[in-house]
Amino acid sequence: MVLTPFRKETKVFEEKDGLKIYRFKYGFTSLCEGAIVPNLRKNRMLIFQVPFLFFSAFLNLAKIIKRGEIETIHAHWIIPQGFIAVLYKKLFRKRNLKIICTSHGGDIFSLQNPLMKKIKKWTLNNVDKLTVVSNAIKEGVKKLNIREDLPIEVIPMGVDDKKFNPTQYDERIRERYSIKGPFLLFVGRLVEEKGIKYLIDTMP
């Protein structure tokens, strides 16, 4: 099962290839479209949506767990998803519930005020395993002085090399989009932190 914020072009519930996808509403959907922290930087008024996001995510998580036999939660991002999962486990005393958390970086390198650091540390000290997408994030996690026995594994974001393979280059892509010079494909948010500028600078 997947629990994720609702977006206006999606359905509240759908099933794909046997996977049940639940999307929860929390008010205006602009807070989670893209990434939360950058959106808050652009528009400080979105901070008022944060409590509703937390409450709705927590409530819907509780409903889903009550419906089925959920043994493990895989929470993407330490805040808010990891924090919400740990809070649920503590409040409902679900001792057998396992929590795996994945950090994608923004939750480590931003949210640096003392309160957020304490919340991140408390969350990580109560999960069963942490995965991160880079070694830099792993080092950032260690600076929070979390428990030493927390398993941390680096798992970079993957790609299907059967679909994206340089040896299967097809010139029709140039014809379709009228591309004449060198080109590259980037999949992700166009933000400065991802370093796209440096990738472009290295192109011939």
How far apart are the C-alpha atoms of 85 and 187, rounded to whole Å? 29
**Cβ count within 10 A of residue 79:** 21
What residues form DSSP beta bridges with 76?
Answer: 102
Q: List, for the chain, all residue ranges whose pLDDT scores fall below the cut of 70.
A: 28-38, 168
Does residue 75 form part of some domain?
yes
Does residue 105 form part of some domain?
yes
What pLDDT was estimated at residue 32?
A: 62
Distance of CA 157 to the CA centre of its chain: 11
* Side chain identity, residue 131: T
What pLDDT was estimated at residue 85?
A: 98
Q: Is 15 helix (H, G, I), strand (E, B) or coil?
A: strand
Does residue 132 form part of some domain?
yes
How many separate domains does the chain show?
1
Domain assignment of residue 128, given as a range: 71-158
163 secondary structure, DSSP code: T
Q: Is 72 left (phi over 0), alpha (psi -120 to 50) or beta?
A: beta
Does residue 145 form part of some domain?
yes
**Are the C-beta atoms of residues 101 and 78 closer than 8 Å to each other?**
yes
What pLDDT was estimated at residue 127?
A: 98
Does residue 120 form part of some domain?
yes
Does residue 146 form part of some domain?
yes
Report the CATH number at residue 139. 3.40.50.2000
What residues form DSSP beta bridges with 15?
Answer: 20
What strands, in cross-sheet order, belong to the sheet with 152-154?
72-76, 98-103, 129-132, 152-154
Does residue 142 form part of some domain?
yes
H or E stretch at 117: helix 114-124
Does residue 92 form part of some domain?
yes
